[in-house]
Amino acid sequence: MNFRLIGVNHKSAPIEVREKLAIPESRLPEVTAKLAKHPGVEEAMILSTCNRVELLARCTNGTSDLRGFLKTQFGAEASALNGCLYEKDGKEAVRHLFRVTSSLDSLVVGEPQILGQVKEAYATARAVGAVSSQLDALVSRSFAVAKRVRSETAVGSSAVSVASVAVELAKKIFGSLQGKAVYLVGAGKMSELAARHLIAHGAGTIFVANRTFERAEKLAKEFEGQAILFEQLYETADKADIVITSTGAPFAIFRKEHGRLFLERRKNRPMFFIDIAVPRDVDAEMAKLEGIFVYDIDDLQQVVGEHVEDRKREADRAEQIVEEEVRKFEARLQTLSVVPTIVSLQEQLETIRQAEIDRVRGRLGKLTPEQELAVEAMTRGIVNKIMHAPISTLKSAAKDPEATTVIDLIRRVFNLSEKKAGEGR
């Protein structure tokens, strides 16, 4: 497999390096076309996202100076990239692409965006004529592998942050979050992030109460919500379906008697308290009220941990799928490499057979239909017997390291043309 990959990602390089190599979408076709014309490159594709820039190429004899391309294209000095670049050849390049497309190499394992980004890079490469047979087969297979990973594992289904867990739990309580009112008590960063997630999933009105009213006003303005004096907290909290609390109070500010009051005003409609404060803002006794749901920071982090653990377990299963697919692709590609030689051999011998029949036809005189069929059968039989040994040898050698040597030998013996596997452009 003459694939070669070079690149940087969020694990190998800081943003200062990645941004130097990043390629704007508008320039991707031009740079991809240049890479496809780089010496030694037969086919090429470039993936450029906020977390990675990777050049993938099928190279003549498996080699090409892709570092040189980076230096020419981006003015990137080798010293500046030392320790940041990774390079993968052959099977390693195939495995890497399968892992990237399946979101196993992503910052958040299982995130779905990367598959769309690889598809866009592939479409761009195809549009500029940089992809033909083998790279086309590789990238297409990577999409199938990603689909298999998604369908056979749950690697992309678990939430992984406190904010996203809060959304997930709220959905379990209320079904839809559409139009649900959210009350922020205190103005911590994590509660703000949780509120943004809730709004992104359909939550409606936002109330903000903070001991410093100006801070409440500022945050409320960001959410186009309503700032409320902290002294009015107990008079107004029942307006919210979801309360995110993160004050610095040294004691619980929501107790069981408050919960009873809220439920009475809400006619027992449920309330969900997300308590991010330490010490906790919500007394544990309040959670015993029917209709009041309380998750503190430990509860939330435990759910996150469970999801991460679930995702890791699923990622391990996904890695096994990738390994299996790499082996399958390698076997398929190796078999594919001997096909053009087999076809050339068949064409060559058929041409000889036809020429010999035409040469002796005049001396045979007029043949009956039965005699014509007999000549056809006899000559085809001879050709098939001649082809049997070299074709069997080619098929057997396809999976061996010496496949290229065997292909070259048979081409020389039978004087076949020089066209090789993958030459479609």
- Tens-digit pLDDT profile for residues 122-177: 999 999 999 988 899 999 999 999 999 999 988 876 555 666 777 778 888 888 88
Residue 28: is its pLDDT beyond 50? Answer: yes
Determine the average pLDDT of the residues in 384-412.
85
CA distance 64 to 76: 17
Residue numbers annotated as active site: 50
CA distance 319 to 328: 14
If one counts every other C-beta atom within 10 angstroms of the C-beta of residue 92, the result is 16
pLDDT score for 251: 84
Q: Enter the pTM of the model.
A: 0.60
pLDDT score for 351: 93
Tokens (6 digits) for 302: 């435990």
Q: Where are the alpha helices (DSSP H) in 153-294?
A: 162-174, 189-200, 213-222, 233-236, 256-265
* ∠ Cα 247 251 256 (to 5°): 100
Coil vs helix vs strand at 278: coil
Would you say 177 and 201 are in contact if contact means Cβ atoms under 8 Å apart?
yes
Token look-up 């070079």 returns: 6
CA distance 120 to 342: 35
Would you say 166 and 194 are in contact if contact means Cβ atoms under 8 Å apart?
yes
pLDDT score for 161: 61
pLDDT score for 78: 60
- Tens-digit pLDDT profile for residues 295-312: 887 777 677 667 676 777
Helix (H) or strand (E) holding 294: strand 292-296
pLDDT score for 163: 67
Residue 280: is its pLDDT beyond 90? Answer: no
